[in-house]
A and B are shown apart, each in its own frame.
Chain A
């Protein structure tokens, strides 16, 4: 009798485990979108952008605004891309570039991004207020896919993430811009000297970073169900964790880092109170900073054969 009960517990244990792995994959997808953007931008500019979380929030609110106008999902996504991209471009052109031209130290740029993020958050606070703004989405059902328990939203998120990451990979590997980006992140001086239009590459990188982050913000808000001016900001810990583990400025590593963090967060949520999920990410971040601040991948940034 006790054996049977133990068996049941064991089965439940395993089920719970696989469920959390499933959740972990979804979380990992959202994290991946946000942190790959961060790492990509950092790899080119080596500017730590503390307003990155607010880019997510901006994208989410862009989608929210679109939602008031139309209830078209595609337009909402488009809005998040546009707003995210626009905000990032403004940050770059209006603030980061002028300060870099002044020869400011990295710390100063850092502070500039903090101020910008702060302004952004408070602007949103003025326009939308501090209460959570609810996202209206079509209802989703729960489905059993193999050992995992997912809603159609979950699967959409994961699918979209895979597609986006693939698109990024194609861009980086095969397009002229992608190659230029890789060259710049490897060796900016050399890239400049060999005729690569450095300023244009930087501008486009920020734009892509913003669009990706905006989209990630939309996905995050859709997943949570609502958005506040600090949604993206609070997500920064998780983004940092994934980026540091994968390697700051290494998009591919960061994607793996996102997977690790997402899984760790959800699996731990089965055994710890759910509020501690972010704390788990934080602990991993600290461990990574202490043990291997350069990331778990000790190889070159771009793992290409060429």
Chain B
């Protein structure tokens, strides 16, 4: 039973980080972006590629790419670097010209295509079978049994979650965070006040992308395998659902939403019947359940459970005299 709970918790934590990444792009910057899941995958693959050892000679079926056998941290940093660069390039082009609908179309199509293309490049990604046997961080150095190790790994994930959370919180409350939200609200007025919507959005885009890449690295090292079946846009919808339910524009909401989706809903509906001859039925039921809950939230509580927070000025206000009205200056001179 604990093993089971640890598994759910680990998924919830990892996807919580992904949800926070999506929140940066969508809740803060207002960019409707399907590609987050694609970046998760890219991050995961980069991590795997960095961390795997060279292919064993006696196993011609498995072809790994670089065989660098790098330590986990390097793999994670590489994942963030690659996703950061991709986000920069894509964002630089897309944020200049595209908006809303077009942006959604583009990012949506990108994920669909990635699935298709990656499936073809067998050499690079080991095709539809995916990359597997990815070594886990510290696994070889700490000699723990698998149960203890899973706790340890969960601990790592939680630490990463907390770090990301605090970094994002600091950004949220900073002048940059405030400007980003102003741009989301009305970019014309923001531009008139001297803030560049393009630059600020691009920064958010890259930051969100890097965090998504990081969560991808965690996911791959947890699963020790990754295949293209997991790369479907449908999974992206889960992350969106997490934010919608948990609270848009809100890191805590993202985490809460992730726990609700991956913890409560996925597990609560686990007891639904499996139809004979149809192994996909239970997960399909779960998916429908999540979609319905999301629709309900969109209808009755679009801001989610935890609403966006604001700077609250609770300080004592001194009673200040109003500046007396100035004399009319029909002749161009000021009278005080």
Do A and B have CB atoms closer than 8 angstroms in the complex? yes
CA gap between A130 and B302 in the complex, in Å: 32
| A293 adjacent to B102 (CB under 8 Å) | yes
B224 proximal to A (CB < 8 A)? no
Interface string of B110-129 (1 = CB under 8 A from A): 10110011011000000000
20 extra A-B contacts, CB within 8 A, seeds A114-B240, A276-B117, A293-B97:
A106-B101, A108-B298, A111-B294, A111-B298, A115-B292, A118-B237, A126-B275, A129-B278, A130-B280, A236-B109, A237-B109, A244-B102, A248-B101, A275-B119, A278-B116, A279-B117, A282-B109, A282-B113, A289-B105, A293-B98
Segment at the A interface, from B9-17, B81-89, B215-223, B283-291: B283-291
| A115 adjacent to B120 (CB under 8 Å) | no
> In chain B between 294 and 329, which residues have their CB closer than 8 angstroms to a CB of chain A?
294-295, 298-299, 302
A190 proximal to B (CB < 8 A)? no
| A279 adjacent to B116 (CB under 8 Å) | yes
Give the secondary structure class of B's interface.
Answer: helix
| B106 adjacent to A125 (CB under 8 Å) | no
Q: How far is the CB of A227 from chain B (nearest CB, A)?
A: 15
| B302 adjacent to A122 (CB under 8 Å) | no
| B117 adjacent to A122 (CB under 8 Å) | no
CA gap between A75 and B214 in the complex, in Å: 53
Please, which residues of chain B bring their CB within 8 A of the CB of A156?
Answer: none
Q: How far is the CB of A248 from chain B (nearest CB, A)?
A: 7
- In the complex, the 7 A-B pairs of residues with the closest C-beta atoms, listed nearest first: A122-B284, A125-B284, A282-B113, A115-B291, A237-B109, A122-B287, A119-B291
Please, which residues of chain B bring their CB within 8 A of the CB of A278?
Answer: 112-113, 116
Q: How far is the CB of A113 from chain B (nearest CB, A)?
A: 11
> In chain A between 42 and 68, which residues have their CB closer than 8 angstroms to a CB of chain B?
48, 50
Please, which residues of chain A bring their CB within 8 A of the CB of B117?
Answer: 276, 279
Size of the A side of the interface (Cβ < 8 Å), in residues, is 43
B24 proximal to A (CB < 8 A)? no
B5 proximal to A (CB < 8 A)? no
Please, which residues of chain B bring their CB within 8 A of the CB of A126?
Answer: 275, 278, 280-281, 284-285
**Known contacts A110-B32, A115-B237, A278-B113: does B275 contact A289 (CB below 8 Å)?**
no
> In chain A between 260 and 294, which residues have their CB closer than 8 angstroms to a CB of chain B?
273, 275-276, 278-279, 282, 285-286, 289-290, 293
CA gap between A107 and B104 in the complex, in Å: 9
The winner among B97, B106, B112, B298 for most chain A CB atoms within 10 A is B112
B100 proximal to A (CB < 8 A)? yes
Please, which residues of chain B bring their CB within 8 A of the CB of A289?
Answer: 94, 97-98, 102, 105-106
CA gap between A244 and B113 in the complex, in Å: 17
Q: Which residue of A lies closest to B112 (CB)?
A: A237
CA gap between A129 and B291 in the complex, in Å: 19
CA gap between A119 and B294 in the complex, in Å: 11
Pull 7 A–B residue pairs with CB atoms less than 8 Å apart, ordered by A.
Answer: A48-B105, A102-B299, A123-B288, A126-B275, A248-B101, A289-B97, A289-B102
